[in-house]
Amino acid sequence: MKKSSITILSLITLLLTSIVTSYSAEKIIPLKVGSSAPDFTLSGIDGKDHSLVDYAKADILAILFTCNHCPSAQAVESRVKKMVDDYKGQSFQLVAISPNHAESLRLNELGYSVYGDTLDEMKKHAAEQKFNFPYLFDGKTQTVARAYGALATPHVFIFDKSRQLQYVGRIDDSRYGDPSLVKSHDARNAIDALLAGKKPSVTQTRAHGCSTKWAHNQNLVEQYNQEFEKKTVLLEKIDAAGIKKLVANPTNKLRLINLWATWCPPCVAEFPELVKIGRQFETRGFDFISISLDSPDMKQEVLEFLTSEHAALPRLTEKSLIKEGRKSNNYLYSNSDTDALAEALDPQWQGPIPYSILVAPGGKILFRQTGEIDPVELKTEILNHLGRFYSPPNKPASPTNSNKAP
């Protein structure tokens, strides 16, 4: 009986491996113009199941593959919402589908978003950004994304009344959030033509955005995490003068500075999330700096805790520190003079820990938190400064590039 169980388990493992391998080897090809819309039944952010037939009344149906995390997808959100509003009452329906396997995203791929791509996070993102269209989740099986050939987010497929594909590709020609930069309104042009009973003059364009995150790449994320956890964690002592220099922030990076101690339960509780945030925003020019208020003679204990939490430097952060002439973002305060520390760090600090500040280049404090951080609130503040999507070179992020829905 035992031998039989082992054999069955081996066969199941072989089958699952075969499925993953076949998907990884599968070439994803977008539907060709003239193809019929593949059917689907997917869960939506409204808690209901949605199928192709549910939208049979619309003469024109746009299936938009998009997601929470991608800056290109977020950049077109305001234009997509306006599109839905502008075509209201004209027998047009847009349905958005998130194709991504949430566990196939590296932390540093989330540097433009508060949320990842799980269904629960889709609900939060859609509520905050005031989506006015159905938003469905295909990340579990990705069968719909494969059937349509969704290569990227965003990637739109526009069908006529008989559900024959008439346009596939980009929403428009801009990867930026500023609508004034759009020169070619490709999806709108196709919709206008179809509503007028004509064929679109342009039926296919190249989708530009973030590649679809397929489940077979989850092993690459696991490898990425394992490699990070092997990195050496460093700890240095620092005095008030050194802290003052950190807060002055002569770099072009945003800095999150956190006061903590090993004897402080709330500090210990929030620390893993702070490490994740440091990794999440490494591509954006970001430092997570921890300053321990443990006794200076407890350096070994502090280092052991930091090591257990994998508080190492992300690769891009490490490169930026080399340019600054620093070796670590983990510090142990070298004396017990809290007044000197407060004057160096932030005169508004009253003494409790944990205490966190967000410091802009040049030293302006953008955000303060006494007590444990709310990760969503903190990431929102970070993105209000860094922006949720790309801006043209040498042009600052526009006000609509914050995490607030326009």
The CATH code of the domain that includes 75 is 3.40.30.10
- CB 351, CB 138: distance < 8 Å: no
User: 55 and 127: one domain?
Assistant: yes
User: 241 and 318: one domain?
Assistant: yes
pLDDT at 393: 79
User: 64 and 193: one domain?
Assistant: yes
Q: What is the CA radius of gyration of the chain?
A: 25
Q: Which domain holds residue 53?
A: 20-217
If you average pLDDT over every residue of the chain, what do you get? 92
Q: Please report, for residues 237, 292, 329, the alpha-carbon distance to residue 297 in angstroms, rounded to integers and kept in the order given.
A: 10, 12, 19
Which of 47, 32, 108, 109 lies closest to 72 in space, CA to CA?
109
Q: Is the pTM of this model over 0.95?
A: no
- Name the DSSP letter for residue 283: G
- Name residues whose C-beta falls within 8 Å of residue 201's C-beta, 6 or more positions apart in sequence: 189, 193
Mean pLDDT over 126-132 rounds to: 98
**DSSP of 327-376:** --SEEEE-S--HHHHHHHH-TT--S-SSEEEEE-TTS-EEEEEESS--HH
User: 194 and 251: one domain?
Assistant: no
Can you list the positions of beta strands (E) in 165-234? 165-169, 210-211
CA–CA separation, 157 vs 164, rounded Å?
10
User: 247 and 286: one domain?
Assistant: yes
User: 163 and 31: one domain?
Assistant: yes
User: 202 and 259: one domain?
Assistant: no
pLDDT-derived band at 403, boundaries 50, 70, 90: low
- CB 215, CB 104: distance < 8 Å: yes
Q: Is residue 1 over pLDDT 90?
A: no
Q: Is residue 11 over pLDDT 50?
A: no
